[in-house]
Structure 1
Amino acid sequence: MHLREIEVKRFYHTWLGLLEFTNRKHNIVPELKITRDPKVLNPQQLLPIKDKLWEDESVIDEYLKQNEKIFDATERDTIISWKRRVSGKFIIMKHLKNYTVFMHAEEGGKLYGVTGISNLIEDMFPSPSLPLYAEATLVPFAGRIIYDSLIEPYQIRLGPGIRKNLNNDYRNLKSVHGIVTVL
């Protein structure tokens, strides 16, 4: 599952505006002109900008303050909600009907049901390639969990023993905590 077209446009308008503000504030990639069309952007140029944003959460507050008269309540609430993000290393475990399950790789991690943005996550990472280690930031959006538009997979091949252990961890976490679908 992925967002509806109107939600995709709203997400990228909001997200890329915040990245553009972060880039200008910190002068990370000075030559970059961020457009509201994600198809023309180079993800490698956006990575250091999004890393700086998540490193310095005060950028969100400053962005909201400087644009308070421009944002409607939905856009403002969306940006504020991104403070509840979950960042780090995940294992993308499996694709289900309504989302893809990401298992937080830290000790005692949780399972998150993550929806694709404009495409299915399964299109990027087909089932035969799972489980897959990746770095990501999960954010709330439109009552669901999505990722901040950039997933960085690790090129690590997992042997059958590790796969079996991960699947056992998945089953245990699912039975004890379930799958988190709202941040």
Structure 2
Amino acid sequence: MKLSKEDADLFFRLMWELQFFVKEQLGMLPEVRDTASYKEGCSFEEKAQVRDALYDNPQFIRKFTQENPSGLSAEELAIVSGWQRFLRGSFFIERLLKKYAVFIPMEGGDNQVYGVVGLYQELDEIVHPSQLPTAVQAVLLPFKGKIIYDGMFRGYNVYFGGNYTADLKERYLVAKQNNRIVESLDAKPARKPAKPKVLHDWQPQIRSLQEQAKDLKAGNAYPALYAPTFALVKASLDFAEGATDAKPDLDALYKLLNKVDREMRKAFKVLYREES
């Protein structure tokens, strides 16, 4: 996913105005006298120096919005003001989805996972899927309810082993399963939690199956595989009952799942011994 051309144009117009302001405040590039000259005449390296100075001196974001030297509208000033919540650091781009690219912080105490959209280009036009996961230095910014990067990132030439790749995938899957992929850095007013959805109650059906499963018994007259199979069915139903409870006990679920695992391993052993 990427911004519309209109929004991408707006982002870069605001960013060039802000960077030019910072350049002026710090006395950088004195020969550059206006925003147009900064935008069109400065090299990538020169802009990168100003960009880094901006994030080294974030107080200039507030000063820019207070002084408003560019005559921005209230809506535009609000966008720039939101950039005070920027996230600067090293990230892994773990995967590219239609909705966004998945950014995972490389270090520090930030255990979040971020969904980041592109600017003029989809991020899969910049980073090929075959290169994933890849490590980048980036700055993430809020923009109209989305998370974007600020137009520059630097890549690392790093090789990831299978274990590290698997760990990143697990971090993404944990965040996805628990609905904590961060898709916006905008400040949000406190609100009441959403009313929980009414789910179908599977408990009656599962308990009915548990009652029926009590009749699953296998003595010596039956093939050896019957007994562990029936035990696995009963253990699985017990786990299903606990998992579908309105307030599942996670500790109890781990114990029930361990029992399922034990019964499954017994079934594997019996099946392995079976001669065709």
TM-score by length of 2: 0.61
Equivalent residue number for residue 86 of structure 1: 87
In structure 1, the gaps of 5 or more residues are none
Equivalent residue number for residue 15 of structure 1: 15
- Residue 59 of structure 1 deviates from its aligned partner by 0.7
Q: In structure 2, the residue corresponding to 1:150 is in which secondary structure?
A: strand
Paired with 1:156 and 1:30, the residues of 2 have a C-alpha distance of 38
Q: Which moved more, 1:25-34 or 1:35-44?
A: 35-44
Label 1:36 to 1:179 Cα distance change in 2 as closer, same or farther (>3 A). Answer: farther
Q: Higher strand proportion, which one?
A: 1
Equivalent residue number for residue 120 of structure 1: 122
- Residue 150 of structure 1 deviates from its aligned partner by 0.8
Equivalent residue number for residue 67 of structure 1: 68
- Residue 68 of structure 1 deviates from its aligned partner by 6.4
Q: Which moved more, 1:35-44 or 1:104-113?
A: 35-44
| Selected match of 1:138 from 137, 140, 144 | 140
Which fold has the larger relative contact order, with Cα–Cα distance below 8 Å and residues 6 or more apart in sequence? Answer: 1
Q: Would you say the 8 A contact 2:20–2:38 is kept in 1?
A: no
Q: Would you say the 8 A contact 1:12–1:36 is kept in 2?
A: no
Structure 2 residue 106 is matched with structure 1 residue 105: yes
Label 1:45 to 1:160 Cα distance change in 2 as closer, same or farther (>3 A). Answer: same
Equivalent residue number for residue 238 of structure 2: none
1:29-72, CA deviations, whole angstroms, 9 ceiling, x for partnerless residues?
A: 44457538968753322222111111212111221222268111
Paired with 1:11 and 1:175, the residues of 2 have a C-alpha distance of 32
| Selected match of 1:173 from 169, 172, 175 | 175
Q: Would you say the 8 A contact 2:104–2:114 is kept in 1?
A: yes
Paired with 2:27 and 2:165, the residues of 1 have a C-alpha distance of 42
Q: Which moved more, 1:31-40 or 1:154-163?
A: 31-40
Equivalent residue number for residue 149 of structure 1: 151
Equivalent residue number for residue 28 of structure 2: 28
1:62-105, CA deviations, whole angstroms, 9 ceiling, x for partnerless residues?
A: 21222268111111100110011111111001111111110112
Paired with 1:80 and 1:29, the residues of 2 have a C-alpha distance of 25
Q: Would you say the 8 A contact 2:138–2:154 is kept in 1?
A: yes
Q: Higher helix proportion, which one?
A: 2
Q: Would you say the 8 A contact 1:12–1:38 is kept in 2?
A: no
Paired with 2:128 and 2:62, the residues of 1 have a C-alpha distance of 37
Q: In structure 2, the residue corresponding to 1:168 is in which secondary structure?
A: helix
Superposed CA RMSD in Å reads 2.2
TM-score by length of 1: 0.90
Q: Between Structure 1 and Structure 2, whose CA radius of gyration is higher?
A: 2
Equivalent residue number for residue 56 of structure 1: 57
Q: In structure 2, the residue corresponding to 1:137 is in which secondary structure?
A: strand
